[in-house]
Amino acid sequence: MATREPTPQEQARLDAIRQQWAQKRKITERFDKIKHKIAVYSGKGGVGKTTVSVNLATTLAAQGERVGILDADIDCPNVVNAMKVELVPGYKDGEFTPALQWGVKVLSMGFFQENQDEAIIFRGPMIHNTLTQFMEGTDWGDLDYLIVDMSPGTSDAALTIMQTLPLDGFVIVTGPQELAALDARRSVNMVKKLNMSVLGVVENFSGEMFGTGAGEKLAAEVEAPFLGKTELRPDYKDTSKPSVLISPTVKGEYEALVERLKESIESLQPAAE
């Protein structure tokens, strides 16, 4: 019996599926040399997600770990400014080589803006394609940790990372306010719906100004480790470098966060093997 030839529409769908699988395989191979891949995520902007990402990465690097940070916030990239990166990534034969600052390898859409004040106006498919290009075409080398600074919310950019990148899990950042915790809970629910792990919750901007306790309460409600609080301090006014390199107090807070994060990662290893 003769086999029916697929219609042009069916062939197009088959070709798209093959391309997606080929991309995912290439990305997985790229990230095989990275021991731990951790996304820092929040349900809304303005809770200090990038500040947490940058200080976590810099703390790990100061401890002798090989670290990279991928800025996955395509339309509002802030990692370049937060890290005060002076060099630019290399690009040769379709492959990026991340820039290096404070012992951390850095790749961000911010490198490719002619003007930092310019708005990056991308629709969903363009965000997906840019992230895929970063993941598929970057030579990170051998790393102990890759920190992925996610875009806020639960739409295209977050979904692309979750469905494409082989992550160990997510650090959820919330403020101490009730509404910040509500949005953080939504991001936790998205992570869990996609059968991924929550490595822990961080409460940022904690203290007298905005209150305290929402992060620990959220962690208990979603049955995730509470990694700790970072207080709103005058130390953050100096933006010449990541705050952990300026303030011993902030450094101590992040060293405690990193210790608990490593414990959380270690606790998941048997289940992942």
> What is the rounded CA–CA span in Å between residue 113 and residue 129?
17
Q: pLDDT digit string (tens) for 209-250?
A: 888 999 999 999 999 999 999 999 999 999 999 999 999 999
Q: Exposed (0-12), middle (13-18) or buried (19+): which is 233, by Cβ within 10 Å?
A: middle
Both tokens assigned to 4: 């029916």
Query: Angle between the 156-164 and 8-31 helix axes, to the nearest 10 degrees?
Result: 70
Residue 28 lies in a domain: no
Residue 6 lies in a domain: no
Residue 260 lies in a domain: yes
CATH of the domain at 40: 3.40.50.300
Q: pLDDT digit string (tens) for 134-181?
A: 998 999 999 999 999 998 887 778 888 898 888 999 999 999 988 888
Residue 119 lies in a domain: yes
Question: Total domain count for the chain?
Answer: 1
Domain that holds residue 238: 34-272
Q: Is the pLDDT of residue 123 over 90?
A: no
Contacts of 100 (CB under 8 A, 6+ apart): 87, 106
Q: What is the pTM (predicted TM-score) of this model?
A: 0.89
**232 three-class SS:** coil
